[in-house]
Amino acid sequence: MVRVWRAWVFTLGTEVVSGRVVNTNAAYLGRRLTLLGFNVLGVVSLIDDVELISEFISYVLSSKPDLLVTTGGLGPTYDDVTLEALAKALRVGLRLNEEALRSIKEKYDVLKLPLTPERIKMAYMPEGSEVIPNDVGTAPGCMVRREETLIISLPGVPRELESMWESYVEPKLRELGVRRVFAERSFKVSGVPESSAAKVVKEVLRKYENVYIKTHPKGHEISAPILEIYVQVFNDDLSAAEETASKVLEELKKSLVSIGGVIT
């Protein structure tokens, strides 16, 4: 039986929700987590509001996922409220973390800048947090556990997030023993509307477990239908996943050709 490791992603910031900033962090984390073996159940984007963020985090934590990742809201400005909201959701205090403070002080010492209240603000974390070093920017991340759930909070600046993820977070997650490999395949078919392909996909899915199939329209449903078919198969054994993916692919192609499709 394949254990399913469940994860949620929170991409926080009014600038993200309003569309002023493109949410590349969601795509990055969703893909990295999937490749690690997590089943990403959802991505939540919210404005910088303590009550709202806290409410949604509490709701997700009630289902006891294995992992919850937040991005954004760790900086020195008034609207950086993620860790305050997280502390509220966890019902713990927001405390000055001495390790985080030392890291922040060292960075501003290089510039001969003092530790203002705004800079010190970045060192406040929920009680029990472990510091995630930030070698690219100033705001450290934090990691804290609540029962079965590991919570990781990272900055929203993509280059900071990606550096911290690849150098620190991902190696930590691998230590958890996440094991859920997958194989993926794709192909294009023309001449079959998505509404016709839907029946084929449904029939194929009845025969297999741990298989995900997605049809992506690339043409016009009526005048020039073109579909990209994506197949993803999960297993705890890569060779078994690859074998199943190949079988599913061939079944799909055969069925789509039989209703007038041309494989490209």
Q: In the β-sheet with 181-190, what is the strand arrangement from edge to edge?
A: 211-217, 226-235, 181-190, 262-263
Return the pLDDT at 1. 57
Residues of the chain with CATH 3.30.70.2860: 181-263
Tokens of 209: 């477990």
Q: Are 208 and 250 in contact (CB under 8 A)?
A: no
For the residues of 160-181, what is the DSSP string, one character each? HHHHHIIIIIHHHHHTTT---E
Return the pLDDT at 198. 96
What is the bridge-based pairing of β-strands 262-263 and 181-190?
A: antiparallel
Topology given in CATH for the domain delimited by 5-174:
Molybdenum Cofactor Biosythetic Enzyme; Chain A (3.40.980)
Return the pLDDT at 177. 85
State pLDDT tens for residues 153-173.
Answer: 999 999 999 999 999 999 999
Q: Which of 133, 122, 75, 77 is closest to 97 using CA atoms?
A: 122
Residues of the chain with CATH 3.40.980.10: 5-174
Which CATH number describes the domain made up of 181-263? Answer: 3.30.70.2860
pLDDT along the chain (264 residues), means of 10: 86 96 97 93 98 98 97 97 98 97 96 96 97 96 96 98 97 88 93 96 94 94 94 88 94 95 92
Tokens of 251: 């079944």
